[in-house]
Structure 1
Amino acid sequence: MTMQKQMDLAEWGMMLVLSLLWGGSFLFNGILVKALPPFTIVTGRVLLAAIALNLIVRVMGHAMPRDGKSWVAFFGMGVLNNMIPFCLIVWGQTHIASGLASILNATTPLFAVVVAHLLTADEKMTANRLIGVVVGFAGVAYMIGFDALHDLGSNVLAQLAVLGAAISYSFAGIWGRRFRAMGMPPLLPAAGQVTASTILMIPIALIADQPWTLPMPGMETWLALAGLAILSTAVAYVLFFRILATAGATNLMLVTFLIPVSAILLGALVLGEQLQAKHLIGMAMIAIGLAAIDGRLMSIGRKRAV
């Protein structure tokens, strides 16, 4: 059976908000890498997010699961969705430009289509889905500018790190499907995965970075860390699991196409940056790609044929 889930307006709205939250993570990381080492950034991110989400769990009257099956799922999600990609992206951003990092990060749906095809029974690869992913990826590259690809080939390890993060996100989307079957509301796996990630990251940061030896960060660094933890992690992952439960892993990974769009639109609206023709063309290509993956182009074509 092949699932061609068309997302409704509410799901697309949550995807847009999620893209804004995750788009901000590149900005926050760009500030933080100037003052803190990578493992300390990642640990601070998941630690603050875990504190916030566990407080919300208590306020909402929920109780975190205590059974081993749930915590195996939390730790697996924490490794695939937090620990591996966060460390790889932060480290990669210390060596390559953010534009190239965004393009490499946008390969996530390409990997997601392949991984979902191999590991699931209801999210198989289809021609329109594959074409849509390729068109959407091309739209991201065109919108950001192919000049960002000029550095492709230099700092190969940093580029492979960002690609590794994209692959890890793809497997995380499949792993996270189990939480719906376990009957968990989105808040619980969001809190569980960052809690598990915190447990794993604290000893790594203490051994590798020795953060107590670092100079006290300034206010800008603290604000960037708070934004990264609360907005780009805690709030973002509640939305992540909500979308995953209803729209599926492949559709969810499409958010990486929307992240550059959100960043450019925010730059135009908030910072007064100029929208260029390549931005509009790239956004149109992304829209066509998303519609193809969502199955809407095929539906429109069949209706017109009738």
Structure 2
Amino acid sequence: MKHFSILLFFLICQIGSSQSVEKIVLDEEDETSGYYLAVVPAENKVEGVLVLLPGFGQQAETIFPETKLHKEAYENNILTIGFAAGSRLLLNEEIQEKFTKVLKDVVERFSVDKEKFVMGGFSAGGTIALRYVELCLETPEKYPIQPKGVFVVDSPIDVFRLWEGFEETIKNDKSEIAVQEAKYVTELLTTRYGNPAENVSMYAKMNPFSMNREYGEHEVHLKNIAVRTYHDVDISWRLQNRYQSAKNQNFMATSELINRLLILGNEKAEFIQTLGTGYRSNGERHPHSWSIVDEAECIGWVKNILGK
């Protein structure tokens, strides 16, 4: 755990002298999902909670260098929670239980109203957050919170569609980095759950949304809450750097999700489209980044949802 402590020290420095990050350990044996990070507003004036999840394989600490959401939240008396699901693309039972344990602790430790939560995540973190919110709304008696909103940052919310795209990328064998990612993810999923086409029911249970309605319509549980999807829709970058067209991008599924919610009458469903906004903290241009979210505007949206 020594390297986590060192990283935590630098995080405290980066967050700012007026803010600090608290690491709360619930399971010492789990170095990824057995703890969460909390950025608590001044004088413990917690008027709501923003829960953030990083991407695939990342620790909770990786959130803060990539976005200023926690800083904006701090200034608006919103508690920020960072939780990582580890090397998972989907919300399986194991991570579901760990996440529930964390959120229950947040409610009790900070004396927060269970209905004062908004959840968001980057990449796979958004996929997991979205599915968790659906479950909270489907069977509220089983979960410690009742979220008022959820947002995803360029998240692959349809695993069936994702798999098809990866198969095409591998077949084309044009972009080395894209092929490596596709092979790694498909092999990982196959090892854990088998091929999606042969295990539809298993995948559908963990998958938050499907373009193919026969695989489930979990989105019906989102018809009464605020939902946002964020994307840097730079198709040209994808073509030039990954040899991938629009049909295999994450925004294809999320735009369909938002459209279905609008049809259901959800006037709080939004597709947030940007162009050229994606940059990593190291300066690398990449549309798949936390930076596509306008932090001040997003926290204003969160405040509005929470009724502040």
**TM-score, scaled relative to structure 1:** 0.29
Determine which structure has greater relative contact order: mean sequence separation of CA pairs < 8 Å that are 6+ residues apart, divided by chain length. Answer: 1
Bigger fraction of residues in strand: 2
Bigger fraction of residues in helix: 1
